[in-house]
Amino acid sequence: MAELYELTITEARRRLDAGDITSVQLTEAVLERIAAVDSQVRAYLAISDDLAMRQARAADARRRAGNATGPLDGIPLAIKDVINVQGLTTTCGSKIIENFVPPYDSTAVARLKDAGAVLLGKTNCDEFAMGSSTERSAFFVTHNPWDLERVPGGSSGGSAAAVAAGAALGALGTDTGGSIRQPASLCGVTGLKPTYGRVSRYGLVAFGSSLDQIGPFAWTAQDCALILGAIAGADPHDSTAAPQPVPDYVAGLNGDVRGLRVGVPKEYFVEGLEAGVEAAVRDALELLRANGAEIVDVSLPHTKYALPVYYIIAPAEASANLARYDGVRYGVKQAGDSYWDELERTRGSGFGAEVRRRIMLGTYALSAGYYDAYYKRAQQVRTLIRRDFEQAFAQVDILAAPTSPTVAFKIGEKTDDPLAMYLEDVCTLPINLAGMPGLVVPCGFSAGLPVGLQLIGRPFDEGTLLRAGDAYQRLTDWHTRRPALTAST
């Protein structure tokens, strides 16, 4: 029988409801697992064990009284450290706000609390979510549980690694250009980027306001459906949170892909795609075909422009969003001879190299004389990219593609080559530019490391994605594999 920390959320919920285990036992098992392995993985920036145990005891009390609040009641989850949890430090992986304690919960966290979830702590991430490897955290590097010498992906690498290591049953991350899907692929777990506007961004520290979305990590599509159902929906605190009805995602998981039209965009099988990655994705497509799905070749011709477009729009939005970190109202402050001297010293020492690079890129793109040439044209091409998706979805129900062109790479391998690092997101960032949802499910291994299949859906049609991902997982056991990670001695 699996260890308690190895349970899926669905399995844990079943055992909690049956009275086989308590939330206290489950939470203690996960906290013990964190203590045993996190010195190697380094998924967590902070562990809220006192809070977690209080919430676990409260969940058990509700269950005894017959008042359990839902499928997440008593389930231990982790939160990426760009999402506010009242009373817990939010650092965004940056020195500039390393002591900031938010006085309020983000909407996503508030909804998890309402659902009875147990919050284990805050997970490591690339600074202000800018990165593809979690090497850009100002505090330390997170390691991939499948190979501790390799990256977990980024920027939500801490959340993905925590789930993969058994240090959380599920987690929240954020996805601006692939920051849920790429680490899910590299860590061999399931990750969902919802449609832009499906989940409120209130209480999320902004990177790219037109791109950011909060979403779940877990072992299975069914578990991601449970978390999404809890956090999705309109929010008066966020005007971009769409007033779309939130379906019962779990009820739609029927295990059937017969008649499902799956588009395969030729542009996503890019130069530089590792042979083992392509083979695993092609095998997954053939399995879907063998079980009744229709595989259709499609084209997204403007995909080749997505990388340059993203690296104009995202840094421009980051430049505007990060202007608030000046050392005056909160965060660290460096003394200087004048306001401008203090500002320069504070931002120069508080922000890491990658964040400074993106701020400068964005400021340049927005500056007088360059706005029309860069930012405005990028937004026009963004519209063309979205139209490509709309035309494709006139022919198919979902799209399927690789998630990352490579498996997890060695720590330090790409830190001196920003372009090589940016290319890690070449298969994921078009989906953010278009505002579409994307789901990644484990689909195999290459050179002993996980590979993820990326499924892309119509706006607000996460249900079809989750149905396809769940059906694939009923046919395979990739999502049941666990890394051979032993406790520290």
pLDDT tens by residue, 187-202: 999 999 999 999 999 9
Question: Which of 65, 186, 171, 155 lies closest to 108, judged by CA?
Answer: 171
Question: 3-class DSSP state for residue 218?
Answer: strand
Q: Which residues are catalytic?
A: 80, 155, 179
93 neighbors 45 (Cβ within 8 angstroms)? yes
For the chain, domains (ranges, CATH) are: 4-261 (3.90.1300.10)
What the block records as the tokens of 289 is: 């075909």
Residues 6 or more apart whose CB falls under 8 angstroms from that of 357 comprise 418
Query: What's the first-to-final CA gap in the chain, in angstroms?
Result: 24
| Tens-digit pLDDT profile for residues 24-78 | 999 999 999 999 999 999 999 999 999 999 999 999 999 999 998 889 999 999 9
444 phi, psi to nearest 5 deg: 150, -170
| Integer Cα distance of 314 and 202 in angstroms | 19
87 phi, psi to nearest 5 deg: 85, -10
- For residue 322, what are the CA distances in angstroms to 207, 331, 359, 459? 8, 12, 8, 29
Using N-to-C axis directions, what is the helix angle for 462-475 and 221-231, rounded to 10°? Answer: 160
Question: Which class for 420: exposed (0-12), middle (13-18), buried (19 or more C-beta within 10 A)?
Answer: middle
| Integer Cα distance of 194 and 192 in angstroms | 6
| Tens-digit pLDDT profile for residues 205-219 | 999 999 999 999 999
- E-assigned strand segments in 70-154: 76-80, 118-123
| Integer Cα distance of 244 and 140 in angstroms | 39
The pLDDT of residue 487 is: 79
| Tens-digit pLDDT profile for residues 166-182 | 999 999 999 999 999 99
Regions of the chain with pLDDT less than 70:
1, 488-489
| Integer Cα distance of 479 and 476 in angstroms | 8
Cis upstream peptide for 155 (omega within 30°): yes
Residue 296 forms beta bridges with which residues?
263
The pLDDT of residue 167 is: 98
| Integer Cα distance of 218 and 156 in angstroms | 13
What the block records as the tokens of 222 is: 């069914």
- E-assigned strand segments in 344-481: 398-402, 438-446, 449-457
